[in-house]
Structure 1
Amino acid sequence: MEKNRAYSVLELIGWGKYNIFTFIQCGLAWSTFTFWFVNTSFVIQGTTEEWDLNTLQAGIIGSFITVGLLFGSLFWGHIGNRYGRMRGFKSTVIVVVIGSILLVLSPNFYTVAGALTILGFGMAGEIALGGTVFYEFCPPSKRNYLTLMSLFLSSGNITVTFTALMVSLFNTTGFYNWRVISLVGVVIESITMIFRFFMHETPAYLISQNKQSAADKILNIVSVANTGKSLDKIEYSASLNPNELTQEPEGTKKVEKKSGNMMKLFKAPLAKTTIVLGMVYMLAGYSYAGIMQFMPEFLEEFSTSTSYAIILAQHSCGIPGVFISSKLVDTRLGRKFTITIFYIFSGLFILFFSFSDLVWVTLSMSGLAFICISLAYSSMFTIAPESFPTSSRSTGLAVVNLFSRVGGIASPIITGYFLEIPNGKFYALLSICITFILAGVFALILKETRGRKIG
């Protein structure tokens, strides 16, 4: 695992205004990701009403966003490694805006499917490159803030659910609720796009491409923003020093081809990490997609406004989960045991949720489940970038996100099928329970990254 001099310089500069700006911008990318992902549940519910679809057909609609995520994961990973993190990160938001506008204006089932595919394609870059960009601008001693960035995942969930609740209560426009909710998302995404273009390429990426002078310029911008002082170019240069063990592995002096970079992930020493982390992502992706996209159907015995209020409360429970996770990952539990314990608890609480139709039981069990899901997910998002070196990080995260999309594609179809059969709610939630528990078991095989020096 290589070390990268940029991180040493960032540590010397310290945390400051530039990091806060990056934290917010990358966090907003994660927030809009969850906004659109959770919005799929309202699209499923709304299109079912508008075009009289059955649950299985609606589930197939939900799979299209994950198909886009599937192809986007590999595409944006390649763009991030080959052409730069920021070239990819700035392009993803444009794609998401285009897809979201098309979704709002969709006249039929097929256009919705196409819009969700485009939307998912762009969202894949938002979630993967957002984490990478923040990680590569973050001083190593502050990397636990990557866990805190998961607050934006919860904020996206809360924003879309609160929007849905308000629209369900006050929409008198004559347009279906799902279109109005999606229009709000278009506005938020467009505002995010404007600020995205003020961001710079990460110095760690520039060094991995042998562009030390360009890296120094960016680090100087960070230093001025954080400390008000320019870098001492002699003492704190980001240039590679042959007398220090900070070089990239042999072969990174030239831009690696996609195939070579991809193959590195499936050879020693990264193969085990890639496959095991991929399995964790795939199993968690199945469960996450099922519980997020079909929650309105799981709550169908309640009125629309009541079910939306319950969903809002569920997503609000994710906030304390993020804060708890940010502390636990730096304790003796570390990253992997936090993931294991709370994915297992997530599965169990989801199963308990299926045993009662009482509001207080539904709210308490699902609320506890969402706390645990948030805990495990934010810990998973912390361990993932720490498990790959700079030269392979973007592609590595793309590949594990690809695994996640496989689970995400299967989940709406299988869940939609279960909901069409007798006792389907129980079987659907049981499958989500089992996959959450299996994700926790696979996490035990991962290498702990707490305290490790990673490039």
Structure 2
Amino acid sequence: MYPNQPVVVTVNSDLHNQGEKSTHDLSSEIEVDEALARKMELVNNAIDEIGFTSYQMKLFFLNGFGYAVDSLLILLNALTQPQVALQYKPVVSKAQTISVGVGLLFGALFWGLGADVIGRKYAFNITLLWCAVFATVAGASPSYIFVCVFIALMAFGGGGNLILDTAVYLEFLPSKYQWSLTFMACWWGVGQMIAGLVAWPFLANYSCKADEVCTNANNSGWRYTFYTLGSFVFLLSLLRMLVIRLKESPKWLLSQNRDEEVVKIIGEIAHSAGKQNPLTIEQLQEIGPITALSDFKKYDLTVIFHHIKGLFPNAKVTYSTLLNIASWALIGLAYPLYNVFLPYYLQSRGASMGDGSTYTTYRDYAIVNVCSIFGPIIAGGLVEVRFLGRRYTMVIGALLTMTFLFLYTIVRTPAQNLAFSCVISVCLNIYYGTLYAYTPEVLPSAHRGTGNAITVACNRIMGIVAALVGTYADLSSSVPIYVCAASFGALALFSFLFPFEPRGSRSG
């Protein structure tokens, strides 16, 4: 079905005279279907000729909502978990976190695979509404079991957000502005900031203490937080569906041999910018159909294995895919371990973490999460530096995170704790924000949803492992802290070894 070697595609230099940027199509290295690679070049040419329009600007915010909601919901769980546990006294203290991990895992697989089968548009619109409904319902849970069930369902929708946000935005983006995919990760910090600011007054003023009998009467803050943030996500989902309407990805449509719709959508974007459609149906039809899909019916389950196989078409792409999977898995373990172990470790070493009040705790959460916004902003600038690009920006972010994690073990005062937390938040998001953008850039376009799903699913699995370790391990041991820091050193090495550098290239 596939040729043994990827087709080499030459970019029209007259049409894309952008200096060092867009020197070639990355699809010439990662796509193995010749017809798809040639059609992808034509679509990339058309999108580049139209340029960055108001539609891409809308997508920046539209997709940013997904970034924000994903981080918002994860932090919502973390912030409310202590008060939920005080009220219901669960046997497994980390069951709520495990429920989130399970929901995110299955959500990533379901929505990611679905995006390659049924398209980006429907999955993209459903996920946010799904999150809103179950986040709100979770606030009314009558027991701990219901809390865990509804949170898992909420996370199931959230698991698809980040899978689709990067893929959809990238597939409409002119190559000159691919750096903004990294910059878009600042929405992750915005979501955390909103969650922290909403939770702060509710949890500080409507929460019981550990020595009290906790009931709905004196411990309703966590419920108010769920209601408020669930309603906020519902408003965002309405904006997605009714105000800023998503067009189906032309690059996904290419993989489905729906050339007429590709030309129509490119035309709509061009006309909205006051330009002529640079793409014609004759150009696409002259190349012929995408033969890779000829053996599959639309809803044949074997198409899933076709998409998985498409992530490993040759040695170089296989090497890249495996490094991406390893990176996502390792950071999925390292960062939760940092969150789980560090407070207990510092406490066992005599660190004064503050006055212990709920107010101070959630104030510090809010401050740290505001700082996280700056990581992707810094990364968005670094990825376009000639001698850095995506790979070395990730190396820098990972090494800085490792350094400050090692140094964090000397913390002994509240001010030191807050300062180090803020610095680590910035450095970590330099790495994380770049990885979120890098992965879809180097995945074959026809299998991008599946690739995102698998890499993020590995991240979620390791997050569940971290929660289990945090439940049963010795939290006062220093070993997990050093393992966590060393993991970021390994992530820096993985980044250095990545075979593709998307800077100066156009993605598939």
TM-score (norm 2): 0.81
Distance 2:392 2:224 in 1: 41
Instruction: Say which of 481, 487, 491 aligns to 1:429.
Output: 481
1:440 shift after superposition:
2.2
Distance 2:372 2:334 in 1: 16
For 1:359, the equivalent position in structure 2 comes to: 414
Distance 1:436 1:304, change over 3 A: farther
1:379 shift after superposition:
0.8
Instruction: Say which of 72, 93, 108 aligns to 1:35.
Output: 72
Distance 2:105 2:341 in 1: 20
Letter in 1 for 2:484: I
Matching of residue 12 in structure 1 with residue 49 in structure 2: yes
Q: What's the C-alpha RMSD, in Å, of the aligned pairs? A: 2.4
For the residue of structure 2 that corresponds to 1:257, the secondary structure is helix
Distance 2:475 2:165 in 1: 42
**Contact conserved, 1:265 with 1:271, CA < 8 A, in 2?**
yes
Distance 1:248 1:134 in 2: 25
Distance 1:120 1:290, change over 3 A: farther
Matching of residue 116 in structure 1 with residue 151 in structure 2: yes
Unaligned runs of 5+ in 1: none
TM-score (norm 1): 0.90
Distance 2:60 2:484 in 1: 32
Letter in 2 for 1:440: A
Letter in 2 for 1:228: G
Distance 1:35 1:179, change over 3 A: same
Instruction: Say which of 70, 77, 81 aligns to 1:44.
Output: 81
1:295 shift after superposition:
8.0
**Contact conserved, 2:133 with 2:234, CA < 8 A, in 1?**
no
Matching of residue 237 in structure 1 with residue 280 in structure 2: yes
Distance 1:431 1:63, change over 3 A: farther
Matching of residue 312 in structure 1 with residue 366 in structure 2: yes
Instruction: Say which of 105, 115, 136 aligns to 2:140.
Output: 105
Distance 1:434 1:178, change over 3 A: farther
**Contact conserved, 2:255 with 2:290, CA < 8 A, in 1?**
no
For 1:405, the equivalent position in structure 2 comes to: 460
Unaligned runs of 5+ in 2: 1-29, 32-36, 208-216, 347-352
**Contact conserved, 1:349 with 1:366, CA < 8 A, in 2?**
no
For the residue of structure 2 that corresponds to 1:357, the secondary structure is coil
For the residue of structure 1 that corresponds to 2:505, the secondary structure is coil
Instruction: Say which of 75, 82, 87 aligns to 2:117.
Output: 82
Instruction: Say which of 279, 302, 310 aligns to 1:264.
Output: 310
1:296 shift after superposition:
7.7
Instruction: Say which of 352, 357, 361 aligns to 1:303.
Output: 357
Matching of residue 195 in structure 1 with residue 236 in structure 2: no
Q: Deviations over 1:49-88 (max 9, x none)?
A: 112347xx23232011111111122211121001100111
Distance 1:263 1:432 in 2: 32
Letter in 2 for 1:194: L
Matching of residue 337 in structure 1 with residue 392 in structure 2: yes
Q: State the identity %.
A: 21
Bigger drift between 287-296 and 326-335 goes to 287-296
1:454 shift after superposition:
2.6
1:141 shift after superposition:
1.1
Matching of residue 395 in structure 1 with residue 450 in structure 2: yes
For 1:221, the equivalent position in structure 2 comes to: 268
**Contact conserved, 1:281 with 1:439, CA < 8 A, in 2?**
no
1:341 shift after superposition:
2.3
1:291 shift after superposition:
4.4
Write out the 4+ residue segments of structure 1 that deviate beyond 6 Å after TM superposition: 293-298
Letter in 1 for 2:446: S
1:174 shift after superposition:
4.4
Distance 1:318 1:218 in 2: 36
Structure with the greater alpha carbon radius of gyration: 2
Instruction: Say which of 52, 55, 59 aligns to 2:94.
Output: 59
